[in-house]
Structures are given as C-alpha cells and as structure tokens.
Amino acid sequence: MAPQSPQWKRVVVKLSGEALQGGQTHGLDGQTVDRIAADLVSAAELGAEIAVVVGGGNFFRGIQGADKGIERARADSIGMLATVMNALAMEHAIEKLGQPARALSAVAMPTLCQAYSRQAALHHLGKGRIVMLAGGTGNPFFTTDTGAALRGAELSCDAIMKATQVDGIYTADPKKDPTATRYDKLTHDEAIAKNLAVMDTAAFALARENRIPIIVFSISEAGAIRAALEGKGRATVVLPA
C-alpha cells in the first residue's frame, strides 16, 4: 500500500486544554495526555511539521476568573500559566514516545522552557521536533485560538487544525442547542458573519487575512489529529472565499 502523505507540509494544531482533562472535571488525565501525544507523534510520522498551541481551559480561563472578581489582566496571566502546564505535560508525553519535542513559551520562563521566538520555533520544526507553543499570544485579553492563528501566520503554516470537543462547526453551539446542524465547509467570511463561536472572531479574522484554512474536528477519538492531517474523518473546513 502507498504510504499516506499529509495534506499540508506545516500545520499549527490548536489543542483544547479541556480535552486534556479526559473524564475528570479539571486538570490532566494521564491516559488522555498519552493518547493525544501518540496521535501527534503518528501525525508527525506522515512527514508534516507540527506546532501545537495548547489551551488552558482544563485549569483556568481568564474570563471566569474575572467573573469571580479577579482583575481581568491578572486572571488572564493565570490562564496563560495554565497553558504552560499543559505544554510541559505534552512535551514530556511526546518525548516518552521517543519523538523529540520542545516547549516554547510566549511568557518567558527560562528555568522551565525556552522563550518563544519565531526563529526558535522554525529551527525546531526544521529539525523534525514537535513544538509545543505555550502562553498563547503572551498578552492578556486574547485566547489560545487567536494565539494559534497568530502563530499559524508568522510560522507560515498551511493550515490551522482546531482539535476540540465538537466534531465541527454548527449553526449554533451544539452543547446548548440540540437542533444545531453541522457545516462541512464554510468561508472565513461566513463564520465571522454568522458569529459562530467555536473560535473567537479575532482568530477567524487573522486566519482570513492570511488565507489560512481552518479544520475543526473532535479530539475525542484516538488518531483524530493524524486522520485530519490526511484529510479523513469528520470535520468542518473553513476556506478563504
């Protein structure tokens, strides 16, 4: 059988933080972390360069902290720290499988990992390492979805792969509206105009400006990232108009 090849040469995967909690209410579930690490390694074996922007929703989201009275910028700093914990856990889980990985943080933490720079990320990608991008954009009032779109643009990625809790983009949040129906394809313009909240508008707009496709798929099945990279599996694809 002919070897499979990736649809894209270089991708940024936006990995849901919440996915890393598995069946728990928060934090890191070891089995889930290992399963997703194995999926990333298998995807890298297709020959694609893989950068991963990891979320922090399994630990803390700034907006929820702000609702409880924590100053928003401070709450967002806590959220960014949550993404660093996830990136370090994923880096370790990937390396346990014999695949080199590097965590780079947009929030400088020199005793824990290298600081993010475009040059460092490109260097590690070129060496075949899976790069875990922590800290989102490094600024409060943003999300890791926007971080993924930003890194996707500055690292010249061919696609943004949003590995999340739902198997695509729906007419409304399917967790709240059971009558919502799923799109197979959309344009960035349509996603923004319809206010489809699976990603924030800033992320959609940045991807649109840089003409980067977005693939939204569920991370709940083993092998989902590799399948999406091969253009298989259930997903919504957002393409430039």
Q: Which residues participate in the annotated binding site for UMP?
A: 56, 76, 137-144
| 184 binds ligand ATP, rule: CB under 6 A | no
3-state secondary structure the chain: CCCCCCCCCEEEEEECCHHHHCCCCCCCCHHHHHHHHHHHHHHHCCCCEEEEEECCCCCCCHHHHHHCCCCHHHHHHHHHHHHHHHHHHHHHHHHHCCCCEEEEECCCCCCCCEECCHHHHHHHHHCCCEEEEECCCCCCCCCHHHHHHHHHHHCCCCEEEEEECCCCCECCCCCCCCCCCECCEEEHHHHHHCCCCCCCHHHHHHHHHCCCCEEEEECCCCCHHHHHHCCCCCCEEEECC
Interface residue with ligand ATP among 57, 62, 65, 135 (CB under 6 A) is 57
Which residue number, 57 or 213, has a Cβ lying nearer to ligand LLZGTKA7? 57
Stretch binding ligand ATP (CB under 6 A), from 10-18, 24-32, 95-103, 115-123 = 10-18
User: What is the side-by-side order of every strand in the sheet holding 159-164?
Assistant: 114-115, 101-105, 130-134, 49-54, 10-15, 159-164, 214-218, 236-239, 185-187
Residues that constitute the known binding site for ATP: 14-17, 57, 61, 164-165, 170, 173
Which residue number, 18 or 230, has a Cβ lying nearer to ligand LLZGTKA7? 18
| 164 binds ligand LLZGTKA7, rule: CB under 6 A | no
| 165 binds ligand ATP, rule: CB under 6 A | yes
Which residue number, 154 or 184, has a Cβ lying nearer to ligand LLZGTKA7? 154
Shortest separation between residue 240's beta carbon and ligand ATP, angstroms: 19
**Spatial distance between the Cα atoms of 43 and 46, rounded to a whole number of angstroms:** 5
Shortest separation between residue 122's beta carbon and ligand ATP, angstroms: 25
Q: Which does 170 bind (CB under 5 to 8 A by kind): ligand LLZGTKA7, ligand ATP, none?
A: ligand ATP
Shortest separation between residue 142's beta carbon and ligand LLZGTKA7, angstroms: 3
| 6 binds ligand LLZGTKA7, rule: CB under 6 A | no
| 143 binds ligand LLZGTKA7, rule: CB under 6 A | yes
Beta strands at 130-134 and 159-164: parallel, antiparallel or unpaired: unpaired
Which residue number, 71 or 177, has a Cβ lying nearer to ligand LLZGTKA7? 71
Phi, psi for residue 54 in degrees, rounded to 5? -100, 135
Binding site for ligand LLZGTKA7 (CB under 6 A): 17, 55-57, 61-63, 76, 79-80, 82-83, 136-137, 139-140, 142-145, 147
Binding site for ligand ATP (CB under 6 A): 16-18, 55-57, 144-145, 164-166, 169-170, 172-175, 196-198
